[in-house]
Structure 1
Amino acid sequence: MDIAPSPIPSRTQYVQEAVKHAILTGRLRPGQALVEAELAAQFGVSKTPVREALKTLAGRGLVVMSEYKGATVRTVDTAMAHAVYDVRLLLEPEALRRTVTARAELEAAGAALERSDAADDPAGRSLANRDFHRALYLPCGNPLLTRMLDELRDQAALVSAVAWQAVPSWEQEALEHREILARALDGDADGAGRALHDHIASFVRRAFPDRESPDGELPGVESSGVESSGVESPGGESPDRE
């Protein structure tokens, strides 16, 4: 007998998605403390699902777990940014070439651009940007390539969120996105791949010049230290809680 999955997430999933959403939209800033007791009280759950959620986010590169400091939002520095974007430069253009060669549908990419244009805050633009890039590589036809890029997706979004606070470049990137999509829709696989490569590379040059501040963090971006962890729900109904 087939059993449809429950639309209500588990407590751990709910906390995980809420904290991730807050990190990727800048509500929780790099270096900010994630206090289990505070999060548990905020979500009305025990500390166990909070702890499990933070462990999962640590595995995805968004949170740092320390025996002495507890959990904090990962701090972004130029070394981490270049590591993430070097891999994107290697993999993402090739995935797009394969998507275009396969004549895959790109409606989701167009819809993401429309959401970005309509967004009136950085959080909305950030999420739409994330969706646009995934829509380009998701239909590439290679599950391993897709999975590798998916594993980078959250860290890339964290890097972007921090960089945009220091060097806003939404308008330029919107133009580049439209050029990439236009070439892809024209069936120009190599041209679309080159445009995507240039787009990622130019973002790195603008946002992460080859210099670091004395503490190793991105120039112009300050860590918020050990502020308390205030997290809003990412939307939807909350699960049954303990």
Structure 2
Amino acid sequence: MAVSFHVRSHSYPSRQHPQAAHVDEQLTRLRSSEAASSSSICQRLSNLQDLHDSLEKMICLSINNQALSQEQIEKLLDGSLKILDLCNIAKEDLSQMKEGLMEIQSILRRKRGDLSAEVKKYLATRKSLKKSFQKVVKNLKMGQNKESQESLDVFGEAKAVTVALFQSLFNFMSGSKACAKWSLVSTLMNQNKITFEEEANEFTVVDLEFQSEKSLKIEDLQILESCIQDLEDGLESLSKSLIKYRVSILNIL
């Protein structure tokens, strides 16, 4: 997901510091990246963790502490709390989906249990979560639009790239928009197989297999479970960095 930034000025005095140059490099990397796969999403989460680790180091420098006003500190605390909330929402939703996938895999391996019921339960969960994802993305876009005219310092830029990443993450977990179209025109599957595979992600592939009632491939379920685990690990590491970041901000007070 591409994000535009309108940076008019950088009022934060520490931009001359070597640590600030490292932060600028990380911001550039995050702005230029695109989330087209689970690996790139996970890499961006890792980059975002590195960014907040660097920001935390900047805050710990006494010269920087003097440059932060009370209003800035409150904004940083509020922003970091919102990001932590997004991490927790994503982790809880991923855990819920993984639990359903593990139950379905167990039934397939043991060849016992009500597979149809578990698949319907998983799809119902996915339907509910997709609505939640769409609401989160909509709220993020609204918040982003309100702040788009503001002059962004280094912390403002960090917040913008973070919002962009979470928009990508929740859209990714929703699955490709092509999924709904493909489930309605399943008769075209064989003709357009290559096109679909190019557009689909791990979530979409499993959604389609369940919706079309085709033979379930346990390998695809395992791939999705592994994808979810990677995302969970990335979010957990980011959460820890954010907590450390918040502690440093609070120490200024």
Give the TM-score of the pair, scaled to structure 1: 0.28
Higher helix share: 2
So what's the TM-score if we normalise by structure 2? 0.27
Q: Greater strand share, 1 or 2?
A: 1
